Amino acid sequence: MSEVVSLAEVADTSVFGSKAVGLGQAVRDGLPVPPGIALSGPVVEAVASGDERAIDEVAAAVEPLGGPLAVRSSAVDEDGAEASFAGQHLTLLNVPSVGELGRALREVWWSANSDSAITYRKRVGLFTRPSVAVVVQALLDPETAGVMFTRNPVTGADERMIEASWGLGEAVVAGIVIPDSYRVARDGSVLERRAGLKRVAIRSLPTGGTVEDEVAPELVERLCLDDEDLAELNRLAAECERVYGPSRDIEWAIAEGTLYLLQCRAVTRAG
């Protein structure tokens, strides 16, 4: 079995991790996922250690994606229902080209072996050394992005909870802005809309990496999703539950008018 494969071919969690396998399942079920490649933990470790053969294999597989790229950790025991490594394992957005991929993979590998990540692993009862698989995808340049829970994670109500902001979704995930928030019933009716305070948007730089870009004053408190967007998100929530099961935590983005699924994982249990 190859350890560098397209997302559509990924099926083994023990090799590629739950994030990659989840995205592979999404691709096979027709969900809108940006094109990408999955790299096994041993391949990533080989690249991180400077193995030229592994570097060349990865570069050849990723080359058709072009650039820029998003590089995300998919460690084998990452993001289950009992534990989430969000904030522990690195995501690198806007890696400009395949030539910069080796450096990016080294950074992701080291993030999963950092003191904070190892301490977290021990706290949740994971004592094995991490196998750091990685997903490499074409990077979107979204107008709007954010997160969605297919069931209210606070009250347990059977409704969608959506948070959104301008630009890349890292502004929401990292708490850089107060995002717009929405509650949507399963039948698509909008129960609540609340404008946030979105003074900055995270956007890609031409030279690689991202920048916090000041948002135009008239957009700071303007809702960034309309009724059509919310209807599309509600449909995506239903499809994700069909494919993965109930109570999903979804990352999404809208680029050039198209809604994309970036990640779908089980809602982490509290406590």
Domains and CATH numbers, the chain: 4-138 (3.30.1490.20), 144-266 (3.30.470.20)
pLDDT (0 to 100) of residue 269: 55
What's the whole-number mean pLDDT along residues 225-248?
96
If you search the block for the tokens 């890609």, which residue do you land on? Answer: 204
Kindly write down the DSSP assignment for every residue of 171-191, as one continuous string. Answer: HHHTT-SB-EEEEEETTS-EE
Question: Is pLDDT of 89 > 60?
Answer: no
Mean local confidence (pLDDT), 109-135? 66
Do 185 and 193 contact (CB within 8 A), yes or no? no
- CA trace torsion 57, 7, 129, 127 (10° rounding): 180
Cβ atoms within 10 A of the Cβ of 135, count?
28
pLDDT of residue 80: 45
Residue 188 has pLDDT above 90, yes or no: yes
pLDDT at position 76 is 76
* Of the candidates 143, 134, 130, 65, the residue with the CA atom closest to the CA atom of residue 104: 134
At residue 117 the predicted structure's pLDDT band, cuts being 50, 70 and 90, is low
pLDDT for position 86: 45
| pLDDT over 90, % of the chain | 73
* Residue whose entry in the numeric block shows the structure tokens 């019933």: 185
What pLDDT shows up at residue 129? 62
Supply the pLDDT for residue 247: 94
Mean confidence (pLDDT) of the chain: 88
Residue 249 has pLDDT above 60, yes or no: yes
pLDDT higher than 80, residue 220:
yes
- pLDDT-based confidence at 127, cuts 50/70/90? low
Give the pLDDT score at 85.
43
Q: What are phi and psi of 250, to 5 degrees?
A: -115, 135
Q: Is the pLDDT of residue 124 over 70?
A: no
- The yes-or-no verdict on residue 152 having pLDDT over 60 is yes
- Tens digits of residue pLDDT in 69-79: 999 988 875 54
| pTM of this structure | 0.86
Please give the Cα distance from 216 to 221 (Å, whole number). 10
141 close to 114: Cβ distance less than 8 angstroms: no
Residues 6+ apart with CB under 8 A from 61: 4, 37
- The pair phi, psi for residue 12, each rounded to 5°, is -105, 105
